[in-house]
Amino acid sequence: MSLPAVLLAVGVSPTPTPSESTTPAVPSLEDAQESATNAASWVEQNWSTWLAIGLRVLLIVVIAAALRVAVRRAITKFIDRMNRTVQAVDGTALGGLLVNAERRRQRSQAIGSVLRSVASFLIMGTAALMILGTFEINLAPLLASAGVAGVAIGFGARNLVTDFLSGVFMILEDQYGVGDTIDAGVASGEVIEVGLRVTKLRGDNGEIWYVRNGEVKRIGNLSQGWATAGVDVQVRADEDLDKVKETIDQVAERMSKAEPWNELLWGPIEVLGLDSVLLDSMVVRVSAKTMPGKALTVERELRWRVKRAFDEAQIPIVGGQAAPADPAPDADPTAGMAAPSAYANAASPQAQAATPITPPAVTK
């Protein structure tokens, strides 16, 4: 007897085999109504929470965007006000000199960029954390991970961070700018570009130096304020000091009225007095206040004029080794030479007559 027949005999309905197709159960109308009622009830219970979260997020975004726009606009107005303040010292030539259009433009752009970036990062970062807190996300692991990542980046890029922070403070404090001549220790020259990480200098020979801001330990700015031109005039110890001073004063008066030296000189050329007195000479110190970066030019011109004036006044300038005297043009160059001797030639009669006589050999 087959298996289906046995199952029918005992009253058990046979289970359909996998090969037989089974018709899926179609949900009834009551089941559909019950599912819709449950969904509507769930939405009705949670819609107020969703609406509150959405409104809170929207409020945070709107406030953050409005605050960011207001802060950036305030920073822009502040930078524009800095650019409009073009006179550092009212009514003086120094104020106009310190105003360099390119320098002020780069400085204002750098300051504005840093301030706007910092403000945007703080505002938007705070808003993002508040939004995550609104969704009840635990921020402790995120903050801990950010702290660890910050420490790792700080150790790995500490030189970059140092350069950036040093550049920010150099720009904010206006330690130097485009067009200034500075001595940065590692290099010196004229500043042609100021960045947050690197400063570009052009040296005296035309080379360009890239100096990292973090490596600059001290800065000597030769273009701010004024410079001092100093010239030392060394004359004989027995020279008339009144005559020397009068001659230098005449040179100073003429140079102060000549162009372009009347613009480069910001003060009178003064004879400060004796800088040193030696046994055979004395040094007179001459000084003048000049335009920044023009001290060397003024010193060279002042030396030139003092030398010509001293030559006219017959005041010799001494110092260093004395120049050798030139021989007289009509002197005989062979006057100091001895006449040739006849004994120098061994074949001459004088040399042979003076030759000692050799004694004859003795025979046994």
Question: Across residues 146-172, what is the average pLDDT?
Answer: 78
Q: Which of 227, 346, 247 is nearest to 293 (CA)?
A: 227
Q: What pLDDT score does 108 carry?
A: 74
Query: Where do runs of H (alpha helix) occur along the chain?
Result: 3-10, 29-84, 93-98, 101-134, 140-156, 158-172, 241-257, 261-264, 295-312, 349-353
pLDDT of 76 above 60: yes
Q: What pLDDT score does 6 carry?
A: 42
Q: What pLDDT score does 24 carry?
A: 55
Q: What pLDDT score does 129 carry?
A: 85
Q: What pLDDT score does 286 carry?
A: 92
Question: Across residues 179-189, what is the average pLDDT?
Answer: 87
Q: What pLDDT score does 67 carry?
A: 93
pLDDT of 93 above 50: no
pLDDT of 331 above 60: no
Q: What pLDDT score does 209 carry?
A: 93
pLDDT of 87 above 90: no
Between residues 355 and 283, the one the model is more confident about: 283
- Give the containing element (helix H, strand E) for 227: strand 227-236
How much is the mean pLDDT over the chain?
A: 77
Q: Taking the model in full, what pTM does it have?
A: 0.49
Q: What pLDDT score does 96 carry?
A: 45
CB 64 within 8 A of CB 124: yes
Tell me the residue length of the chain: 364
Q: What is the 3-state secondary structure (H, E, C) of 158-208?
A: HHHHHHHHHHHHHHHCCCCCCCCEEECCCCEEEEEEECCCEEEEECCCCCE
Q: Which of 320, 295, 317, 319 is nearest to 307 (CA)?
A: 317
pLDDT for 118-144, tens place per residue?
888 889 888 888 888 888 777 777 777
